[in-house]
Amino acid sequence: MSVLQDIIAGVREDLDARKATLTLAQLQGLVAQQRPAMDAFAALGGNDNARADLKVIAEVKRRSPSKGDLAGIADPAALARQYEEGGASVISVLTEERRFGGSLADLDAVRAAVGIPVLRKDFTCDPFMIWEARAHGADLVLLIVAALSDEELHDYLALTHQLGMNAVVETHTAEEIDRAVAVGAKLIGINVRNLKTLEVDRSIFAALAGNIPAGPVVIAESGVRDVDDVRHYAAHGAQAILVGEALVKDATPLERISEFKAAGALAISSR
């Protein structure tokens, strides 16, 4: 069993427990009470042909399978507010509990604290989770191409759009990019972390980014340690970066986001 399969097996078990306490009809009732989702595509520069800046998706992330504990984050809302003040365009909140130490309560806290789009970062493997994300105020969900069949990818993306949301469609290979483009993904992430070994290879982004046609926002995922990594991704076509570890382990995440944005803008202007 791969790391991804193992994580999803745990996600399904936890999802079954939540389903035992809340029906889909009840969940849909909660969604009906939510304000409309924010336009994350626009927030990340979508439809802006003159994009000259690098957008940052800043992540609330306590731990990971590859690095273990990263940060306690006793107050995710306070951290998210720092991210927003620093210039983040979207806040990503890990809600997977077993490997990442997240929760839907974290999502609730962040959603109540910031005025920008919020991504529910989890291993979406059931439509129920998309309804769940919207019920808790999320504006985006994560869809990992490697974890979904073509039919699931199509149907899950259609559901996010039906709910007024967006999805970050995560890819790792050229074939997965083709699948993401085929279903009309508007936000395509290239994750440079190997799902089998969990190793990071930043060169993968440069090798794959050119496979994404004009239109979708191109997002670099994983491997951002410092401004050099930001420059590398921006120089090779990234329009946004998703950053977790480098921010949660930094004592001054607000300043770090500002620094990353400045470095990215300079790299983009030099393309």
- Predicted confidence at residue 194, as pLDDT, reads 86
Q: What is the pLDDT of residues 213-243, one digit of tens each?
A: 999 999 999 999 999 999 999 999 999 999 9
Rounded to an integer, the average pLDDT of 57-77 is: 91
Q: What is the pLDDT of residues 114-142, one digit of tens each?
A: 999 999 999 999 999 999 999 999 999 99
Q: Where are the alpha helices (DSSP H) in 20-173?
A: 24-32, 40-43, 76-86, 104-113, 127-135, 150-162
Tokens of 126: 């059931």
Query: With 70 as the cut, is the pLDDT of residue 212 above it?
Result: yes
Strands 68-69 and 63-64 turn out to be antiparallel
- Taken in order of first residue, the domains within the chain and their CATH numbers are 3-269 (3.20.20.70)
SS3 state at 200:
strand
Catalytic machinery residues:
59, 61, 121, 170, 191, 221-222
